[in-house]
Amino acid sequence: MSQHRSYCLDDPSIRAADLLLTMESSHVQQATALVPTAFPKIVPIRQAADLLGREPKPIAIQQFVARLNTDRHPEEYLGSNWDVDDPYGGSRRQYHIAVEQIAGLLSVVLGKLT
């Protein structure tokens, strides 16, 4: 983590991604506002892990995105149902908790995507 540096999400980054995982539902809204056509590939990491955790075997990213969007609507992301708590401004312990949560969710996601 010491090498990680945050940056502002921009149009080229969104367009280049096959799948964009967010920490919060509001990030889905923000990224979609930048590139409205990208909504189908923007998903909170907690939701992606939940859905992929139910997959019996690995799945291609394009297949996952297609399944994700069979009955999905932007209104789903007006709340915080899928949020990972942002530790910004919090204690060192809060940062460690967030890192552990994200690592666990990423493990599920990366373990199922091909």
* Separation between Cα atoms, residue 81 and residue 47, nearest integer Å: 9
Query: Between these two residues, 4 and 69, which has the higher pLDDT value?
Result: 69
- Tell me: pLDDT of 78 over 60: yes
49: confidence class by pLDDT, cuts 50, 70, 90: very high
State residue 4's pLDDT score: 65
* Separation between Cα atoms, residue 65 and residue 37, nearest integer Å: 13
The whole model's pTM is what?
A: 0.85
CA-wise closest residue to 22 among 109, 111, 89, 112: 109
